[in-house]
Amino acid sequence: MTGIACVLAGCAALLLAPPRAALGRGRRGRRGSSYVVGGLGLCGAGWWLADEPRLLVLGAVAGAAALAAGRLVARHRADRAAARVRSRVVELCDGLQAELAAGQTATVALERVAGEWPALLPVTRSAAAGGDVPGAFRELAAGPGAGDLRVVAAAWQVAHRTGHGLADALGRVAQELRDAEQTRRVVTGELASARATARLVACLPLVALLMGSGAGADPWGFLLGHPVGLGCLAGGVGCGIAGLAWIEALARDVERGR
């Protein structure tokens, strides 16, 4: 039982770690060490509770519920951060277009726009050194929400190869990105009702338990004190988490294929 508890605790620690792509380079080391400490703590808790199967099951159920809620919150924050980056890309195109239309060179325009978006400093250094500016844009495009920078890189490369105006190309790119963002908002709004319904359905069992307690029954005593009740509790929480994960996966597929 002790070994099983430690294995389960270690698996929970691994599940708590966010995807590597969502972490910044400077914070990745600190995040990794914090999750190692958390994993050791979970293993210690599993070892201590190994002789109390009831407490171990309750802890596992509570941990799974907390993990699912944390994942939802983290995903929501990541989506908001990506949306801010996409807005920055549109502002970049508008700013570059305005600077180029005013007669500034591409290097000076980049330097002025980078003053408002420090993430562009590698691109400005590449432009000042006569390097591969489209390549620098493509490297930045690997970040969350920055994929539209690949379109900016393509416009920059085509404009310099063909001699056509870069300002006009960036203006068209900005308009296309605005249209794409508008479509994304419509799709997100359509999916919001499905997500809200799934979360409401996941909370309905808790409402039923509260109603049962108010009617004079003792559902909590059965769920928390009887072995069959513990099994029902674990199964119900697992099904609820699986349902939420399924809805989120379907929504992600729709958003990626919009």
Q: Which residue has the higher pLDDT, 43 or 146?
A: 146
Confidence of residue 64 (pLDDT cuts 50, 70, 90): confident
103: left (phi over 0), alpha (psi -120 to 50) or beta: left
pLDDT on residue 3? 42
- pLDDT for 14 equals 46
pLDDT exceeds cutoff 70 at 218: yes
Binned at pLDDT 50, 70 and 90, residue 164 comes out as low
The 10 Å Cβ neighbour count of residue 186 is: 11
* 57 touches 234 (CB < 8 A): yes
Q: Output 38 or 62, whichever has higher pLDDT.
A: 62
As a whole number, the mean pLDDT across the chain is 76
Transcribe 183-215 into DSSP letters: HHHHHHHHHHHHHHHHHHHHHHHHHHHHHHHHT
pLDDT digit string, tens, across residues 86-108: 888 888 888 888 888 888 888 88
More confident residue, 30 or 248: 248
Higher pLDDT, 78 or 164: 78
What b/e readout covers 156-181, taking b as 16+ CB neighbours within 10 angstroms?
bbebeeeeeebbebbbebbeebeeeb
pLDDT digits (tens, 9 = 90+) for 11-48: 444 444 444 443 344 444 445 555 555 555 555 555 55
pTM over 0.85: no
Tokens 């969502």, residue located: 22
Averaged pLDDT, 193-202: 85
